[in-house]
Each structure stands twice: as structure tokens, then as C-alpha cells.
Structure 1
Amino acid sequence: MEGLFFNATDGYIEGIVRGYKNNLLTNANYSNLTQCETLEDLKLQLSPFYGDYLANVPSPISTSIIAAKTTEKLINEFRYIRAQSTGALAKFLNYITYAYMIDNVALLITGTLHERDTRELLDRCHPLGWFEAMPVLCVATNVEELYNSVLVETPLAPYFKDNLSSADLDDLNIEIIRNTLYKSYLEDFYEFCTTDPAMKDTSTAEIMSDILAFEADRRAINITLNSFGTELSKQDRRKLYPSFGRLYPEGTFMLSKADDIEGVRAAVEGVVEYKTFFEQGGFGPGGMMGGQQPKSLEDLFYHKEMEIAKMAFTQQFTYAIAFAWVKLREQVFFFQDRIMTT
């Protein structure tokens, strides 16, 4: 029944997003990018997809300009579909931007802590996560001030208020803030997709529950691995795990008790994909498996994320393709960073 009236309200946006998806770089394009020896070669390969944005860029071109222009296209396209959206779809698109807001908050307060230039920090913030009070973040000195002077008027306020403390801002507390906000954000987004009357029992709920569960599991695993050798206690680490996902609750409980990589590997044994990731990443009993160089765990998670995003487009009448499209568009930024630093 959901498809009966979907096109009347949201069919136009779905058509636009599918059109955007058809303009993404193909495997052949990425293969050509790996052969680029200069930034001019890179610009030439990207021109069919970003021609209007790269056409008038003066030489010599820089990596920052390429990144800015490719990001600009994503921002313009996303803002267009959000401007045309109403109701549940508009709210869904807003949820996508909250993740970028969290990253911007963490970037600004971390940069300020290390006395980085404010203008440079603001320039590095992702436009999808921009909000008016962002420049004020640079003067916050503790968590309460950060909330009361800045975040209380933003969509992040509900995620922050429940976890408010009076701690000073240092590197560890900033990472705790970031992961606490992400935990609350993912739980809220998951609840919206699966329980909201407009979303419940729809293909959007089905696809997004899988996407968000994967993201929750990835964050739980990464938080555990990154906590080894730090001052973060096991009890505090457990508070940062989202309360859903394929690992929840048994797997996340085991993660909270893990002391090393072997403990993490044991915690993910019940999920075949994650178990395979650790074997391919060189963490399994077989090490490098046949003498081959293992892929990093980050790369394995990234490839799985792209696979899930591509699969979202196999279904119709779903908001999930907007989320998947943004993730697939980010692939070019990820790829640019890799080839520009090699």
C-alpha cells in the first residue's frame, strides 16, 4: 500500500535522486583516476561529472579547490531536494545533516583547544552541518558553556542535554562528546525510521534499519579498538555504544569487556561479515591468509557501507535512497584523498 500514494508526495524527489545517482562515477572512471599523474589529469577525468564546477577554475589547480568544487555540487543538489521536500521526507533529510553538525562541533572545539586559526577551522567545516551559532563554539571552555551558549538552540540539543557534564574540554572529553552525540543521534534516527507513523512498516524502515545497524556496530567496534591504551574506562566505553544493531546486546557487552584485539574478534564471532573482516584484516587466526597483504579494517567497513548503499537503489518508494546517494557521493571525496596523498 505504501507505493499507492508515494509518488503523489515524494515521487518527484525519488526521481531526482535516482537521476543524481546515475551521474556518479563508475568503476571505469575510478580506474582512470588511479592513472592520473597530475592534478590537471584529475580535473580532466572529473570534468564530465563536475564540468560546470571545474570549468572556470584557474591553473595551477590545487587539491583544496578540487575538493571544494566537488563538495559544492553535492551541497547544491542536496539543498535542492530538501527545499522541495515536505513532511516525513523533509525530516528524514534533516536527520542526514545532523551527523555533519556533530563532526563540525568536534572539529571546532578540538581546533580551538589546540589554538588553530578560527577562520581556517570554519572553512574546514562541512556545509551540510553548518548552523548559525557555529563561530561561537570557538570561545567555549567547558561542556556546560558549550551547551548553554551554543548547542541549546540547535537540533543537537536533545542529544547533548541528556549527557551533560561539567567537564573541561580536553582531547579525551571532546572524543567522548563526539561519540556520545553520535550514539544519541543514531538511536534517535533509528527510532524515527522504525516507529514514526509515516515510516513504520515501509521499505524505508526496512532499509534504514539495516544501514543504521551497520553504522552502530561499526562505531562500537571502532570505539573499542581506539580505546585500548587510553584513559577511557570499560564502563565509560560501554556508555558510548548505540543500543541497537546486530551486535547488540550480547556482542556489545563482550566488546565492553575486551582488553585486546582478540577480545574484539571474539565479540563479533556471531556476525559472519564482521568475523570475516577481522580475518581479512589480518586479525584472525590465519594472519595475512596465504601471505597476502591484509586490508585495513577501515577499508573493509567502507566497502561494506558502499555495498549497502548501492543495494538501497534496488528498491522503490523509499527515502533511503537519499541517504544512500549522499554516502555514494562521498566516495569521490574519499578516493580523492587517497590518490592526492600518494
Structure 2
Amino acid sequence: MDLDDMNIKIMRNTLYKAYLEDFYRFCQKLGGATAEIMSDLLAFEADRRAVNITITCCLCFPSFNLCFLGWFVLLWKNALLINPSLISYRMERVRCLTRKEIYEEEVKKNCLAFEQQFHYVVFFAYMRLREQEIRNLMWISECVAQHQKSRVHDSVVFIF
């Protein structure tokens, strides 16, 4: 197999899919509040990845081709044949389409993990919130480096 950028992305997405599915099964085995809360967080992550991959695929299609929408509909129908659970796709999870709104939704879900007791989700949520802090710092440093201090609040997602 040729290890070009596309194959690496496919490999990365396939590995991440396997990781999410294995981690989901592990959380289900734990049961209780951990399974309940992690199911929601992992489903949100899976939905976000599915939407990002679908949008990325659509961006790869030439806009001048006559069957642009037709191919997208065909791809979606084939995805439904492969994974019928997409039919019950919860649209409220995908109502936010901007990157900032998706991150804000993720932060809300991770903050909710701290409202229950006696589960392991707080460790996962803590790490995800730390990742958001790092994204915030990266955005702020990029704005400062590019002399765009007025845009700092455009993508900063506030935690707590």
C-alpha cells in the first residue's frame, strides 16, 4: 500500500473508528452512570466525526459536475445500507455546524459529566476540557502572532 496523505487519513479514520467502538463497548461493560454518560459523549464524538467526514467528502467533489448532488445522495443512501442506525441520527446533535458551536456543545456535555457522582467519566471529561484549553491557547497565540487581537473572541470557547 502506498502511504500517501489520503491513505494515511483513511488509516487514521479507520483506527479511530475502531478505538471509538472498542471504548464504547468497554464503557458499556462498566455499566451504571459511566456507561450512560460515556454513551452520550462517545455518540456525540461519533456524530461529529461522521458529519466532518461527510462534509470533507462533499468538498472533494467538483462543483461544476452535473451529478454533484446525485452522488452525494447516492453516497448517503449507501451509508444507510451499510449502517442503518444512521437513519435514527439525532439531528439536535448536528444542529450546530460551525466549529466553535460544535466545540461549545462538546464543552457543555463534558461539564455535565461533573454533575453526577461515582463514575469514571470525569477523567475523560477533564482531559477533553484540557484539550479545549489547549485549542483556546493555540487560537489566542495565533491571533497575537498575526496581529489580529480583535479576533481573539471569535473562536475561544469558554469553559465553566
Give TM-score, length-normalised by structure 1: 0.35
Q: SS of the residue aligned with 1:316? A: coil
Cα distance between partner residues in 1 of 2:45 and 2:93: 13
Q: SS of the residue aligned with 2:12? A: helix
Instruction: Give the number of the structure with larger relative contact order, counting CA–CA contacts within 8 Å between residues 6 or more apart.
Output: 2
How far the C-alpha of 1:176 sits from its partner, in A, is: 0.5
Partner residue of 1:320?
Answer: 121
Partner residue of 2:94?
Answer: 274
How far the C-alpha of 1:320 sits from its partner, in A, is: 0.3
| 1:129-174 alpha-carbon deviations (Å, 9 max, x no partner) | xxxxxxxxxxxxxxxxxxxxxxxxxxxxxxxxxxxxxx21111111
Residue 248 of structure 1 pairs with residue 109 of structure 2: no
How far the C-alpha of 1:316 sits from its partner, in A, is: 0.4
Partner residue of 1:308?
Answer: 109
Picking from 117, 138, 141, the partner of 1:340 is 141
| 1:243-289 alpha-carbon deviations (Å, 9 max, x no partner) | 6xxx93216xxxxxxxxxxxxxxxx6x522423x14xxxxxxxxxxx
Larger radius of gyration: 1
The code of the aligned residue for 1:205 comes to A
Change over 3 Å in CA distance of 1:249–1:273 after alignment to 2: closer
Change over 3 Å in CA distance of 1:217–1:273 after alignment to 2: closer
Taking the TM superposition and a 5 Å limit, the aligned residue runs for 1:1-342 are 167-194=1-28, 196=29, 199-200=30-31, 202-230=32-60, 234=75, 238=79, 248-250=85-87, 270-275=90-95, 277-278=96-97, 297-342=98-143
| 8 Å CA contact 2:47, 2:93 repeated in 1 | no
The code of the aligned residue for 2:21 comes to E
Give TM-score, length-normalised by structure 2: 0.72
Cα distance between partner residues in 2 of 1:207 and 1:326: 15
Structure 2 unaligned segments of length 5 or more: list them: 62-71, 144-160
Cα distance between partner residues in 2 of 1:227 and 1:249: 17
Higher helix share: 2
Cα distance between partner residues in 2 of 1:224 and 1:315: 34
How far the C-alpha of 1:321 sits from its partner, in A, is: 0.3
- Using the aligned pairs only, state the percent identity: 43
Cα distance between partner residues in 2 of 1:229 and 1:318: 40
| 1:278-314 alpha-carbon deviations (Å, 9 max, x no partner) | 4xxxxxxxxxxxxxxxxxx211111111111100000
How far the C-alpha of 1:184 sits from its partner, in A, is: 0.9
Q: SS of the residue aligned with 1:324? A: helix
Q: SS of the residue aligned with 1:209? A: helix
Change over 3 Å in CA distance of 1:340–1:229 after alignment to 2: same
CA RMSD across the alignment:
2.6
